[in-house]
Amino acid sequence: MRTVPPLVGRDEELRRLEQLTRAAAEGRGGALVLRGEPGIGKSALLDRVRRADGFRVVEASGVEPEAELPFAGLHQLCLPLLGRAAEVPAALRDAFGSAGAPDVFRVGLAVLELIGAAARERPVLCAIDDAHWLDHASAKVLSFVARRIAEEPVVMVFAARDGFDELPGLVLGGLPEAQARLLVRATLDEQVRDRILAEARGNPLALLELPGEDGDPPVTSSVPHRIERSFRARFAQLPATARALLVVAAAEPAGDPVPVWAAAHRLGIDGGAAAAVEASGLAEFGTRVRFCHPLARSAVLGAADAEQRHAAHRSLAAVTDPVADPDRRAWHRGRSGTGPDEDVAAELESAAARAGARGGVAATATVLERAAALSLDPVRRTDRTFAAVRARLAAGGVEAAAELLATADTGGLDERRRAEADLLRGRIAFAAGGDDGPAFMLRAAQRVSEVDPAVSREHHLDALEMALVVGRASGVLDAVLAAAAPAPGPPDVLDALVALETRGHRAAGPLLRAAVADDAAIAARPALAAMIAAELWDLDAHADVTGRIVRAGRTSGSPMVVRLGLAQTASGAVLAGDFATAASAIAEEEAIADAAGERPLGYPRLHLAAMRGEHAELARLGAEGDGGQLAANLHWATALLHNGRGDYRAALAAAEEAAAPGDLFLAGIALPELVEAASRCGARAAAEAAADSLAERTRAGGSAWGLGVAACARALISGDEDDYREALDHLDRSPAAPHRARARLLHGEWLRRRNRGLAARETLRAAHRELADLGMTAFADRAADELRAAGGRVTRRPASAAAELTLQERHIARQVATGATSKEVAERLFLSPRTVDAHLRNIFRKLGVTSRRQLRDLPGVTA
């Protein structure tokens, strides 16, 4: 290999890396991503940090072709540690090839546990080169781990051209001219040197590799292209057998010398070719085959002709065990240049299925694309293309999915497959943030309405459920009403929603109740089931539905279903006034979202902030919103907040915005805010219309909560004390503590305005106590002002110490207070036990306690 001079011009980068390793040696872990163009010095810095004293170093390197093999990069990193582990975690056995479908997050926890155990002996340094070429599953796991090592003596350094944006990064620029000159050969003509300096733009590898051996200045092109051109020139000067050996080595992504030499022997290449390769500096053959730079590998593959590449892959496929490593064999066969071949396509399809079962959704997509390209049968080609599109979407590749779908020829397809294409277009539009997804779903439903009415009904429900999420339900519902045929058997969810729209809440009530009692309906459409339960104004039914959603998600291993269930659990808890449970569910949902590298669901935080009267938090969350359903939630939350603060005009405007679309749950829950704000603003007609709509909705459910809220709305308009008493009678029997306390406040305000001082003071004092105990600060302040105006004294209640905790700290404190161990909490929040213990130390300090047992008796922790 060519000797690389000492690093120049990287003092700041080296200092940053030295800070990381010093902190890890002291027990404070961290991660850093070195970013920059090829040749800029990422690998050189990574090589320097590998030499840190006192660290156990484990390494992985992404290879472009291996990006199609799930967990390949992770296996490289973990392999040296697996032999030292007392027991290999089951999640890692699944990920590394045993039967089973690994949960990426459980794999991440297992890796965290494995590295943490090794770090108890001495600090661990994970060096990941060419991380942009890691397989999707490995990249996701390593990013997960890197965000959770703060309390571990572990350093993770990634070298990547791009990606890993969620981690701290350092962008490497070109070297200044004075330092760049130190890397350019002094023997060159001065004019040539100046030309190289100008065109290399401080790229260290370009300065070392250019010009070629003939001393000519490089042609004008990108720096990576010029570097690769230099590697190609070296490749071209090798003997034919050495070139053939390099092509085989470049075609074997794992760098395993055993299959490389086995394939080389099949091609008649002897061991002498290796000497010529190593003399060129392009690669070396040892326990692994290593190229001097990733661009050298791509230069070799680019310089070889098609037949050389195909021959290399054919030979590698022939020497790969079809039983022990069927996926790698299929991968090589797919690149062997056979042309369309149904046998190879079927083998690739099987490999894709195995990749999907092991969590490699990105790999699944890539392999299916190749299978489609090799398919002889046009229908099977289309089916494989559609499967690849679904896999691309599952991996988050929305643009790639759209481009791939555009390649499918749907002209000669039957209506079922055309419907499938429309469904995929709808899901792509939805994932891209557009609002035309439901229209594609409706078109899919129409295509199969004649040939398969049952499937058509499912597609209509797809359209309606998506429309509810993007906030476009009204227009879609009209189309569904016009086109959907009745169910052939007992009424289903679609029949219930049609009845709700055409015959109103009273007629639809029994059908809606049947829908939320149906396990199959909940499993098929959990978001819709939760909204229907809320539409019935039944918190007990809503809690039952959300509990089943969470359990189903945990059983199936679906993070998205668990997140939905937790978000709905939080919303229901907010409506019940159980803010501790709401905060706990929000913290857990956010932990899972963080583990997945996704944004948390915003609406539960909106609900909690509004109910607590946190104006600044609500404004912050609103600024982060992106329209659709979150906007509708924001309108309702804003109306609630402004009613609490007594800003009734602002509350009225927001409540009208929330109620206008007529969406499930949100339109109904906004009506009490609209009635209160409109009645305070003198908009009697608006208040009466909203109260009538509210009464019609709540009678269908017949719950104490709904009936109480409707009676309270009626009281605001009628001014009849019997209506207030009826409202409180109902609400005292309901779990809806916030509406109960608010009804008492409204009754107290009514009594004060009628100069019934003693009764007003008693009622307002009780309302203030309930609102303060719940933590509804805006409404509590309003009650306090009313109580003072009635001649009463306001007793300030001491703030709960738990109010100082973050949502995640509250969740941890609550779990620990109810007996959970650090390991159990860690598994729930996808953290390391050491990180949970660090949070506990902060919790103890903030709460002024010294033990887990003391947490149980603190107000606001378990309540």
- Distance, CA of 702 to CA of 734 (rounded, Å): 12
- Report how far residue 205's alpha carbon sits from residue 388's, in angstroms, rounded to the nearest whole number: 38
Q: Decide which of 234 and 295 is more confident.
A: 234
* The pLDDT of residue 684: 96
Cβ-proximal residues to 362 (8 Å cutoff; 6+ apart), any chain = 67, 68, 135, 136, 137, 391, 392, 395, 397
pLDDT category of residue 66 using cuts at 50, 70 and 90: low
- What does the pLDDT average to over 367-389? 90
- What pLDDT band is residue 801 in, cutting at 50, 70 and 90? low
The token pair at 665 is 């749950």
pLDDT of residue 604: 93
**In this predicted structure, what is the pLDDT of residue 39?**
84
Per-residue pLDDT, 215: 44
Q: What is the pLDDT of residues 634-683, one digit of tens each?
A: 999 999 999 999 999 999 999 999 998 777 888 899 999 999 999 999 99
- Output 572 or 624, whichever has higher pLDDT: 572
Least confident of 57-71, 146-160, 283-297, 756-770: 57-71
Contact 774, 577 (CB under 8 A): yes
Give, to the nearest 10 degrees, the angle between helix 559-576 and helix 579-596. 160
In the numeric block, which tokens belong to residue 560?
Answer: 């998205």
Give 688 or 843, the one with higher predicted confidence.
688
257-279 pLDDT per residue, tens: 999 999 999 999 988 899 999 99
So what's the pLDDT on residue 823?
A: 87
Mean pLDDT of the chain: 86
Q: Could you report the per-residue pLDDT of 530-566, keeping only the tens digit for each?
A: 888 899 999 999 999 999 999 888 777 677 788 889 9
Whole-Å CA distances, 7 to 2, 46, 123, 179, 594? 15, 11, 25, 10, 36
* Range among 33-37, 393-397, 637-641 rated most confident: 637-641
Q: What mean pLDDT do residues 155-167 have?
A: 92
The pLDDT of residue 100 is 53
Task: Examine the pLDDT at 485 and tell me if it is beyond 80.
Answer: no
Pick among 3.30.70.1110, 3.30.2010.10, 3.40.50.300, 1.20.120.1200: CATH of 11-171: 3.40.50.300
Reference 735, options 712, 767, 703, 763; nearest CA is 703
Find the mean pLDDT for residues 513-540: 86
The amino acid present at 490, given as its one-letter code, is P
Q: Are 491 and 484 in contact (CB under 8 A)?
A: no
| φ/ψ (deg, to 5) at 456 | -60, -40
Share of the chain above pLDDT 70, in %: 89
Query: Can you tell me the distance from the alpha carbon of 265 to that of 33, in angstroms, rounded to the nearest whole number?
Result: 40
Fold of 802-855: Arc Repressor Mutant, subunit A (1.10.10)
pLDDT, position 168:
93
- What are the extents of the domains in the chain? 11-171, 177-241, 415-485, 491-601, 617-692, 702-797, 802-855
360 DSSP 8-state letter: -
pLDDT at residue 474, rounded to an integer: 61
CATH class of 491-601: mainly alpha
Given a cut of 50, whether residue 452 has pLDDT beyond it is yes
- pTM for the whole structure: 0.76
Q: State the pLDDT at residue 456.
A: 86
Give how far the C-alpha of residue 243 lies from the chain's centroid of Cα atoms, to the nearest Å: 44
| pLDDT per position as a tens digit, 179-226 | 777 777 654 566 666 766 776 777 777 777 765 444 444 444 566 777
